Amino acid sequence: MYFWRRAGVYLLAIGAAFFCAAPFLWSLITAFKQNRDLYNPANNPFVFNRPATSDHVLYLFTKAAFGTFAWNTLWVGLLVVLITLALSLPAAYALARLDRPWAGWFGIAIFLVYLVPPSLLFLSLSRIVVAFGLQDDTFSLVLIYPTITVPVSIWLLIGFLKAVPRDIEEQAMVDGYSRLGAFWRAVVPLTFPGIVAVIVFAFTLTASEFIYALSFVSPSTEKVISTGVPTELVRGDVFFWQSLQAATVLVALPLAVVFNLFLDRFITGFTQGAVKG
């Protein structure tokens, strides 16, 4: 009985892992194939019928602006994360701790903002981006992306902040810090796991955003990965399949590694936000 249950767990785990990762495995094989091998429907698609080649992976960096897209995604993501923290950490503290009678309603209002999706706003926001003179400029994404990340980050951080014992700030204030000082010196360091969760979550959201990036930015040097790869490596009907697949794997692996490192903290944050919120 015990044996079968263990076997069942392993079987399910392996099955789940396979279904989730199979497309990436297929990408990985494809990325190193020669054209003559790839474009022959009679060939077994899962093995190399001709020697592997790294030409198509190198093409990403030498001929396509993959490096530029990756760099744009990275700096946009980092700036958005900074703005998100600067806005959401104080806001979450005010809602979680400063005991205002309207804090509950405010929390709900912010939650509702999270429900206003990009698909509702992209037409008017693209006008606003033009009005700011940021049309076709990657910087427009830095301006707009916090609209996606701030509400959800406030929501996550409220949970973490509520978990910090009140005694700690009170002690800090007894020790002579002001309320502001207690927040900065005593509470923020203890909320570090929550801050990490927000950083990872905000970065992931930013990196995969699609509608805004597609409607605000069209020159290829200003594009980010999520729009640059699908638009620049597809020319009309010609798909640069190996390079496309290589790009997918190159982006997917590091993001998943980082996210995995912080998964437990992320889960804790969600629990506190949802159950104690």
Contact call for residue 237 and other proteins (CB under 8 A): no
User: Which residue in the set 36, 39, 58, 174 belongs to the binding site for other proteins (CB under 8 A)?
Assistant: 39
Conformation bin of residue 99: beta by default, left when phi > 0, alpha when psi is -120 to 50: left
DSSP result, 246-266: HHHHHHHHHHHHHHHHTHHHH
Return the residues of window 85-104 that contact other proteins according to CB under 8 A.
Answer: 86-88, 90-91, 93-95, 98-100
Q: Is 58 a residue that touches other proteins (CB under 8 A)?
A: no
Please pick, from the candidates 75, 122, 135, 136, the single residue that binds other proteins as defined by CB under 8 A. Answer: 122
The binder of other proteins chosen from 34, 49, 53, 126 (CB under 8 A):
126
- The answer to the question of residue 166 lying near other proteins (CB under 8 A) is no
168 is a contact residue toward other proteins (CB under 8 A) = no
- Candidate ranges 52-60, 105-113, 134-142, 163-171; the one touching other proteins (CB under 8 A): 105-113
Q: Which stretch binds other proteins (CB under 8 A): 55-63, 163-171, 187-195, 225-233?
A: 225-233
Q: Is 189 in the site for other proteins (CB under 8 A)?
A: no
Q: Indicate whether 119 belongs to the interface with other proteins (CB under 8 A).
A: yes
Measured CA to CA, the distance from residue 32 to residue 25 in angstroms comes to 12
Q: Of 163, 217, 229, 232, which one interacts with other proteins (CB under 8 A)?
A: 229
Amino acid at 72: N
Distances (CA, A) of 196 to 84, 131, 153, 202, 268: 12, 34, 11, 10, 12
Q: Does 1 bind other proteins (CB under 8 A)?
A: no
Q: How far apart are CA 246 and CA 252, in angstroms?
A: 10
In this structure, the chain runs to a length of 277
Q: What gap in Å lies between CA 171 and CA 177, rounded to an integer?
A: 9
Within positions 59 to 88, which residues make up the interface with other proteins, using CB under 8 A? Answer: 86-88
Check residue 160 for interaction with other proteins (CB under 8 A).
Answer: no
Between CA 223 and CA 65 the distance in angstroms is: 9
The verdict on 151 binding other proteins (CB under 8 A) reads: yes
Amino acid at 173: M
DSSP for residue 238: E
